[in-house]
Amino acid sequence: MSAYARRLLFALMGPVLLSAPAVADDLSGADTAWMLTSTALVLFMTIPGLSLFYAGLVRVKNALSVLMQCFALTALMSVLWFVVGYTLAFGSAGVEQGPWIGDLGNLFLAKVSMDSMSGSIPETLFVMFQLTFAVITPALIVGGFAERMRFSAMLIFSSLWLILVYAPICHWVWGGGWLGEMGLQDFAGGAVVHITAGVAALIAAMSLGSRKGFGQTAMPPHNLTMTVTGAGMLWVGWFGFNAGSAVAADNSAAMAMLVTHLSAACGSLAWMTMEWLRHGKPSVLGIVTGMVAGLGTITPASGSVGPAGAVVIGLSAGVVCYFATITLKNRLGVDDSLDVFPVHGVGGMLGLIMAGIFCSPSLGLFSGNGFSDGVEGIAGQLGIQLTGIGATFAYTAVVTWVLLRVVNTMVSLRVDQEDETAGLDIVLHDERGYDM
């Protein structure tokens, strides 16, 4: 375009452009760019991160079924979040939210537009960021019933669970509900994601019963290379999970990223060391599981603790979750296939407790970022944290148990023993993960 043409265009359009309303006075380009990145990182955790991590841990005849479950849940939970999940969790702008569930004004995202804002970022971006949390939480539960639940039953159960368990608890903590108002320190989902997923996996594992041959036949991971690849993706993606929960490109996000990394490193080393001391050799499976334990445990505390506190949390996670795994499988005989409850459930509870301690600003080297408004002292904060743990555990356990019973009346939850022996890849999907 020539200089004359540009001047003519401005002469004609300039008054219109100058009088047009700004997109939003409080829109932060930096915050928006960081949250776009964080959202992609959290989705990266599910597909491909968690998918590969889980697929490598099961037997070869079930590898494709786990990949299919994670992929299908990503699609289905996304649509459910659009239809009803977001409004149940967060309601609609300008409406006072109740303590238990969000209002229904945002069904089908009716009040979300390109111009609506959530703090300093577009509300569309906040919806998408929270969508990725709603995707990965039901996907985590897959590890509890891996290798034995029907695909159709899994889809129905996960859909009902998102609406009746995840969305209400998300509202309690982050959507203006009673736990958030109480002052619960759950920065990125110790209760909302990890306790709910861990408890649901435990109830599902107990309800379905053990896999055929559990306790008598070895069921080692079929491809640890795949698992380590997925674990690396989880580690990187978790920065979006935790640092993104600051919903800003600020000091809080930077600290969350640092403490997340330190806890993951310490969790992996602690679990590896426990195996080394007890069994004589450090295992690849152990070090990557310890990493996930460290990540899950720091999640609720990542916005309120400092680096030294994160090291303690990570080391504690590696040891506590290691013994929780042994106890659940070897002593209690519960076949939580991929250790969802001892790693995520126990890790989430431990992290919430640790957040109540290390958020204190008066612990010297181990000080955190302070207490919630109106809360004084570690004892008071711990009381709130324990209330959150108890409420989340009890509600998730009861509703999950009821949902499993309801789904079982609609379609049998578990494949029969002959199909389980053949493997879910060929029985449910008529395909094989490997064709060599």
What is the separation, in whole angstroms, between the first and last Cα of the chain? 60
Residue 16 maps to a domain:
no
Nearest to 208 by CA among 428, 413, 69, 427: 413
Q: Which residue has the higher pLDDT, 93 or 70?
A: 70
Q: For residue 43, what are the contacts with CB-CB under 8 A and spacing of at least 6? A: 74, 132, 135
Structure confidence at residue 369 (pLDDT): 87
Quick one: tokens of 245? 């929960």
Instruction: Note the pLDDT tens digit of each residue in 112-149.
Output: 999 999 999 999 999 999 999 999 999 999 999 999 99
Instruction: Note the pLDDT tens digit of each residue in 34-54.
Output: 999 999 999 999 999 999 999
Instruction: Note the pLDDT tens digit of each residue in 245-295.
Output: 999 999 999 999 999 999 999 999 999 999 999 999 999 999 999 999 999
Contact between residue 193 and residue 299 where contact means Cβ atoms under 8 Å apart: yes
What is the pLDDT confidence band of residue 398, given thresholds at 50, 70 and 90? very high
What is the pLDDT confidence band of residue 7, given thresholds at 50, 70 and 90? very low
Query: pLDDT at residue 152 above 70?
Result: yes
- Which of 16-30, 49-63, 216-230, 294-308 is predicted with the least confidence, judged by mean pLDDT? 16-30
What is the pLDDT confidence band of residue 208, given thresholds at 50, 70 and 90? very high
Angle between the N-to-C axes of helices 377-410 and 346-358, in degrees from 0 to 180, rounded to the nearest 10: 160
Nearest to 326 by CA among 274, 250, 259: 274
CATH number reported for the structural domain that contains residue 65 in this entry: 1.10.3430.10
Residue 3 maps to a domain:
no
Arithmetic mean of pLDDT, 151-167? 98
Cα-Cα-Cα-Cα dihedral sign, residues 223, 228, 229, 233: positive
What is the pLDDT confidence band of residue 6, given thresholds at 50, 70 and 90? very low
Residue 286 maps to a domain:
yes
Structure confidence at residue 324 (pLDDT): 98
Q: For residue 306, what are the contacts with CB-CB under 8 A and spacing of at least 6? A: 255, 259, 358, 366, 367, 368, 369
Q: For residue 417, what are the contacts with CB-CB under 8 A and spacing of at least 6? A: 212
Residue 72 maps to a domain:
yes
Residue 394 maps to a domain:
yes
Question: What backbone torsions phi and psi does residue 290 show, to the nearest 5 degrees?
Answer: -60, -35
CA distance 232 to 23: 39
Structure confidence at residue 375 (pLDDT): 61
CA distance 400 to 200: 6
Counted domains in the chain? 1
Query: pLDDT at residue 23 above 70?
Result: no
Question: What backbone torsions phi and psi does residue 218 show, to the nearest 5 degrees?
Answer: -65, 135
Strands 117-118 and 121-122: antiparallel
Q: What is the largest CA-CA distance in the chain?
A: 85
Residue 184 maps to a domain:
yes
Distances in Å between the Cα of 98 and the Cα atoms of 103, 104, 133 are 8, 12, 22
pLDDT > 70: percent of the chain: 93
- For tokens 């452009």, the residue is 17
Arithmetic mean of pLDDT, 375-391? 91
Residue 17 maps to a domain:
no
How many Å is the Cα radius of gyration of the chain? Answer: 23
Arithmetic mean of pLDDT, 140-159? 98
DSSP collapsed to 3 states, the chain: CCHHHHHHHHHHHHHHHHHCCCCCCCCCHHHHHHHHHHHHHHHHHHHHHHHHHHHHHCCHHHHHHHHHHHHHHHHHHHHHHHHHHHHHHHCCCCCCCCCCCCCCCCHHHCCCCCCCEECCEEHHHHHHHHHHHHHHHHHHHHHHHCCCECHHHHHHHHHHHHHHHHHHHHHHHHCCCHHHHHCCCCCCCHHHHHHHHHHHHHHHHHHHCCCCCCCCCCCCCCCHHHHHHHHHHHHHHHHHHHHHHHCCCCHHHHHHHHHHHHHHHHHHHHHHHHHHHHHCCCCHHHHHHHHHHHHHHHHHHCCCCCHHHHHHHHHHHHHHHHHHHHHHHHHCCCCCCCCHHHHHHHHHHHHHHHHHHHCCCCCHHHCCCCCCCCCCHHHHHHHHHHHHHHHHHHHHHHHHHHHHHHHHHHCCCECCHHHHHHCHHHHHHCCCCCCC
Nearest to 197 by CA among 148, 142, 267, 128: 142
What is the pLDDT confidence band of residue 19, given thresholds at 50, 70 and 90? very low
CA distance 425 to 97: 45
CA distance 371 to 383: 13
Residue 67 maps to a domain:
yes
Instruction: Note the pLDDT tens digit of each residue in 304-336.
Output: 999 999 999 999 999 999 999 999 999 999 999
pLDDT > 90: percent of the chain: 89
Q: Domain span at residue 419?
A: 26-429
Type of residue at 428: L
Question: What backbone torsions phi and psi does residue 289 show, to the nearest 5 degrees?
Answer: -70, -40
Q: For residue 49, what are the contacts with CB-CB under 8 A and spacing of at least 6? A: 230, 231, 233, 234, 237
